[in-house]
Every structure is written in structure tokens, then in C-alpha cells.
Amino acid sequence: MRNITPFHIAIPVGCLIKARHFYGELLGCKEGRSSEKWVDYNFYGHQLVCHEVNNYNFQNDHNPVDGEQVPIPHFGVVLKMEQWLDLTEKLVGYGIKFLIEPTIRFAGEPGEQATMFFFDPSGNAIEFKAFKNIEKDLFHK
């Protein structure tokens, strides 16, 4: 793949303590700068900023994709298949509650991908995915 520049995303969270545990300890993201109300993370090479919002109550909508109700909005990252499998094993061992269980979507079709969805402690939907052939399938039309 060509060299891709990191994206930046800022999300609201209800509690920075829970966010630090989830993103830092569970997902293993390295913490960067922070204050009493926000914290930066290295989210697989991208900049994720969690901003604490008092009385935060996130609401998701859903859209159908390949027989599943995918939460909207959501964010995530595309991993190498080995990384996806390792993370899946870690999350299952941790007892994470999946919104969409780790699965293969579009099996046997162009764009076949491994995917899973779950929520952070504040209700932000996260998707991790991987492709058999990322060069060919990431932006397959």
C-alpha cells in the first residue's frame, strides 16, 4: 500500500478513567498528551483524542450491511490479518461484549474481510477489520 498519513479523530467519553482503562490497557494504545478533560492515544498509528463530556449519553443508529445491523457512527482501523486474529483472541479472553461477533463478511466475494464491532465504555462503536488481500480489496468497487 502507498504511504498513508495518520488520521485524527476526537470522540466524547463519559469518564476518562474508564477510557484510559479501555484504550490504554485493554486495546494497548500508548497514551500521549493529556489534561484533566482529554487524553491523546496512539491508535494504531493514528491520533485518537478522548474528550470527557459530563452526562454523556451516546446514541447510535444502524444500517444493514451483509445481513448485520452496523452501528452508525463508528470508527476503527484496518489491521493485518495476524493482528486482527491476535486482537480478537485478546478481546474474547477479556470477555468483551461484541455488538457484531468476529466474523468474515462478504465471504468468497471481492472485498472479503474479517470484522468485529464492539462499544467502548461510553457507547462509541468501534470496528476492527482485516482483508485477505488489502491491496486489492480495501477500496474495491
- Residue 39's domain comprises 8-137
pLDDT of residue 48: 97
pLDDT of residue 138: 76
Is 121 domain-assigned?
A: yes
Please tell me the total count of domains within the chain. 1
pLDDT of residue 140: 67
Is 2 domain-assigned?
A: no
Is 1 domain-assigned?
A: no
pLDDT of residue 39: 97
pLDDT of residue 15: 92
Is 3 domain-assigned?
A: no
**Cα 120 → chain centroid:** 9
Mean pLDDT for each consecutive 10-residue tract of the chain (141 residues)? Answer: 82 94 96 96 96 82 85 91 95 95 88 93 94 78 61
SS3 for the chain is: CCCCCCCEEEEEECCHHHHHHHHHHHCCCEEEEECCCEEEEEECCEEEEEEECCCCCCCCEEEEECCEEEEECEEEEECCHHHHHHHHHHHHHHCCCEEEEEEEECCCCCCCEEEEEEECCCCCEEEEEEECCHHHHCCCC
CATH number of the domain within which 73 lies: 3.10.180.10
